[in-house]
Structure 1
Amino acid sequence: MSEIEAELTRILTKIAEAKCIKHYKAVADTVADIGNGFLSSFYKGEIHNQDTGEIISVGIKMEPPFAGINFAKFYKNEEVFYKDFLPAILTLQAKTNMKDPFDNTATYFNSETGNINFIALENVSDKGYKLHDKMAYLNRECLEKIFKIYGKFHALSFVLRRRNWELYEKIHNQYSSDMFQYFVKPEKNAIILKKSITAAYESLDHDSKVYNELEALSENCVKLYIKASEYRGKYWCSTHGDCWSNNMLFKYSDNGQVEDIKLIDFQLARDGSPIHDLAYFFYSGAAKEDLYRIDEYLKIYHETFSNILKALGEDPEELFPFEALLNEWKENALLGVFLGIYLWQVKLLPKEKYQNIFNNPADEKKPNAEEWNEIFAKLLQKTLEGDKFRERAKNILTQAFEYGIISKEKIENCFAGGYRLTVLG
């Protein structure tokens, strides 16, 4: 038995024993699915209950095979979400008979952080859930459903914070420091961000107002990014964090309609602005025509948000009125603008281009974080030079400028003041 097979079998055994299954067979699939996320390798396994004939399908997410990153911080965040926060909001929800409750996560089985880092969840791919084509836009149907899902998720968080602040604070104090700053630390990560924002700026019409007004954007994008990631408003809630399309699983009907969506990968979960979640998936997935429907999508989000609050006996106009949502979008969507541009360069890179970075034989030296960044940056450079990236980046920056999310004044205010960089271990 190989080392990975032994480890997967151990995890499956722990799950079977936790479920008090007396007679079972653990079947581990040692072929990893690598490249859908950059902080994990994905394995599958099954637990065969020999008494009932039931087969429990398990998805096991483990740290990827390269060195130099403290993966425990990321996996601990996700563990806190599944073990503490999710049960708290589901318990809150269960106290009332909701017509359309939040049920958009996979069942949690087990996890470990430290020397070994893994998260074991229900493998919903066996139920027909699958990834969206990362190179394709999210269509209107998908966008509407995702806004509704986050409306439910954020509403439950608002109510938990209001009714049980002590528990809410205890949970969120377990999360690591601002993980979003991982994208700009170390310096080589910041260079990748800066190159993508520079390429986006250069994709604009050089005679346009937006190009002239955002002249200082590239030079100050790291400062702007850090400031945008640090929410200081009053509409706090628990956020998903890393909510691009590869961290959502879609189930389709026979006629191609979206039946359901499961949110996965809560490694960047934190206490912050709900706008950070919304703007992140929106700008990393919406086509040009949908970018200009943002007010419409925010209405859909707020209607769902309000329905959950009302079902729980709360007043949405008191907790988060629609006008506040619109203002918060203009003030806090910049993080999603930057991450959307950053993610499109990744999404347009064919998966097989970077899979071979991880697929070294077991006896070869694992690439460290610095080597990975160097290889990854070279691969991304080709994407930045492509027409598809330039089109998407141009659309995002233009809409963000026209909507007031980014402006010459906001750039000037950023480099006129200070900013804080949280040090990650």
Structure 2
Amino acid sequence: MSSKPVNPNEFLLIPKWINEEYFVPILEKDVDKFEKIISFSPIAATAPGENYTSIMVRVVIVYLSKDGSEEQVSYILKTGLDVNKGGAMVEQIGMFPKEKEMYQHHIPQFVKLYKEAGIDVELAPKCVHTEETPERITMVFEDLKTNNFRNVDRLEGLDFVHMRCVLRKLAEFHAASAVYREVNGPYDTRYNKSMFCEENSGLLTKVREIREPQYLKAMLEWGIPDIERYIRKSPDAPKFCEETLKLNEVDENSFNVLNHGDSWCNNIMFKYKENGEIDRTLFVDLQLCKWGSPAQDLWYVIVSSASLDIKVKEFDHFIQIYHERLSECLKLLNYSKPVPSLRDVHVMMIQGSTWGYVTANGVMVAVLMPSDKDSNMDKLLSPGPEADAFRHRTFTNPLYVKAMKQLLPFFDHRGVLDFD
């Protein structure tokens, strides 16, 4: 047996219902010759600042097998936040019902499409249990870390080799989703909405109003030449909400896919060969999947997660890498409509460029913030002096400032900041 696992977040309060009794039927279904649980150790699955929208628990179980041997298995349990800890917003956006359906139905169907075309393509980990009650939706997954998968350090970002693997995997995901839609008709209407939908407009405006004073104050401290130009182009709360609501619109005459919707580096796991080469790449966290332009995922992953030395420098090259694999997969899966050209994808990127601005002002703030006990949804979104101080700290974080020194001129040169 391995040593007792180290808890990466002592501040996480693990719900009492996550116990041996809950896991017995899961083990009976998932493990051959399971007899009984010997020890049960629930700990946080992530450190503070690594996850903002759910409770993530790693459950390490030592069990007795029917042959008398002691074995160990571990799982990742994912469930909702308390309502007063940011869970209300997560519930309002409808993240968990989406993810449950993605793992139960859509991912297996995408994999099946590739299987029928003669190749094996992995997209996500195995989900061994789902449960929906009036109080919560819960999912239990295989623990990829026990199979030597790991994340890249989010503060360093994805180097070129990792980005190439991610973009190719994203293309595989997108291609299957487009072909599935062609064969089976539209996805459920829940996939038509991102978090930037009309129902959330009040919440989005409120969040922008809460964050804006600290953000504008921080910009003056960044030391960027002509910062006043960028401040003038920074949309106020009503304009920001107006622009983000446009992201929810879908041009059905264009090429569309089911976007992962939250494709930053912590939601991508890698397994390596003995020589250090990347062997397998998988996506996790499918709570924000959204039907629409692939520009969403492309802007999101490049801005949030490419390492700083290549984020801008290799931007157009990244689009080419994605397009090459997308074309291969669409043809392999017998997509009947015209395959988008590389030029088409670049046009989509211009048309969907607000995703770049939103990512830089949203998730990238969290991605580049070193682990901190205050890194949680409550602190990011709550009003008040304590939360204001934390937000100001995130906006003046040297890693974030360094990224914005590159991104603001890049955005400006591409017209990303021309909201009017």
TM range (shorter): 0.7 to 0.9
| 2:37 maps to 1:37 | no
Distance 1:246 1:184 in 2: 29
State the partner residue of 2:291: 271
AA at the equivalent of 1:313: N
Give a deviation string over 1:177-235, Cα, whole Å, max 9, x none.
43245697254422355457646865474448xx6477232323333233234343522
The alignment partner of 1:61 has SS state of strand
Q: Percent identity?
A: 19
State the partner residue of 1:392: 403
Alignment check: 8 A CA contact 1:42 1:62 kept? yes
State the partner residue of 2:325: 304
State the partner residue of 2:77: 60
Task: Provide TM-score, normalisation by structure 2.
Answer: 0.81
Match of 2:195 among 168, 176, 179: 179
Distance 1:42 1:191 in 2: 29
State the partner residue of 1:80: 101
Alignment check: 8 A CA contact 1:130 1:249 kept? yes
How much is the aligned-residue C-alpha RMSD, in angstroms?
Answer: 3.3
The alignment partner of 1:25 has SS state of strand
Task: Provide TM-score, normalisation by structure 1.
Answer: 0.80
Q: Which of structure 1's runs of 4+ aligned residues deviate more than 6 A?
A: 367-370
Give a deviation string over 1:109-151, Cα, whole Å, max 9, x none.
1122331332111100111112221211221111111111101
| 2:26 maps to 1:9 | no
1:85 Cα deviation from its structure 2 partner: 1.1
Q: 1:227-376 alignment to 2 at 5 Å?
A: 227-232=246-251, 234-286=254-306, 287-314=308-335, 318-354=338-374, 371=382, 375-376=386-387
| 2:126 maps to 1:107 | yes
More helix per residue: 1 or 2?
1
1:401 Cα deviation from its structure 2 partner: 2.3
Distance 2:45 2:387 in 1: 18
Give a deviation string over 1:345-390, Cα, whole Å, max 9, x none.
22232323326x79xxxxxxxx799758875543121121243322
Greater CA drift, 251-260 or 75-84? 251-260
Give a deviation string over 1:213-263, Cα, whole Å, max 9, x none.
772323233332332343435222111111111112222345544332221
Distance 2:218 2:202 in 1: 17
Alignment check: 8 A CA contact 2:130 2:139 kept? yes
State the partner residue of 2:207: 189
Distance 1:197 1:228 in 2: 22
AA at the equivalent of 1:89: F
The alignment partner of 1:344 has SS state of helix
Alignment check: 8 A CA contact 1:281 1:336 kept? no
Greater CA drift, 118-127 or 22-31? 22-31
1:283 Cα deviation from its structure 2 partner: 0.3
Give a deviation string over 1:135-174, Cα, whole Å, max 9, x none.
1122111111111110111011111111221xxx2x4235
State the partner residue of 1:221: 240
Distance 2:389 2:287 in 1: 26
Distance 1:150 1:201 in 2: 33
Q: Kindly tell me: are residues 288 and 21 of structure 1, through their superposed partners in 2, closer, same or farther at Cα, counting changes over 3 Å?
A: closer
Distance 2:192 2:25 in 1: 26
Alignment check: 8 A CA contact 1:77 1:266 kept? yes
The alignment partner of 1:284 has SS state of helix
Distance 1:199 1:257 in 2: 43
The alignment partner of 1:354 has SS state of coil
| 2:40 maps to 1:28 | yes
Alignment check: 8 A CA contact 1:172 1:271 kept? no
Distance 1:183 1:33 in 2: 32
Alignment check: 8 A CA contact 1:349 1:380 kept? no
The alignment partner of 1:118 has SS state of strand
Alignment check: 8 A CA contact 1:106 1:122 kept? yes
Distance 1:49 1:180 in 2: 48
Greater CA drift, 124-133 or 249-258? 249-258
Give ranges in structure 2 of 5+ residues lacking alignment: 1-12
Give a deviation string over 1:41-81, Cα, whole Å, max 9, x none.
22223474713666543111122356263345221111011
Distance 2:283 2:383 in 1: 27
Greater CA drift, 24-33 or 330-339? 24-33
Give ranges in structure 1 of 5+ residues lacking alignment: 359-366, 413-425
State the partner residue of 1:51: 66
Q: 1:87-236 alignment to 2 at 5 Å?
A: 87-98=108-119, 101-113=120-132, 114-165=134-185, 169=186, 171-175=187-191, 177-180=193-196, 185=203, 187-191=205-209, 194=212, 198=216, 202=220, 203=222, 205-207=224-226, 212=229, 215-219=232-236, 220-232=239-251, 234-236=254-256
Alignment check: 8 A CA contact 2:357 2:417 kept? no
Greater CA drift, 101-110 or 20-29? 20-29
Give a deviation string over 1:78-128, Cα, whole Å, max 9, x none.
101111211221222221212xx4313110111223313321111001111
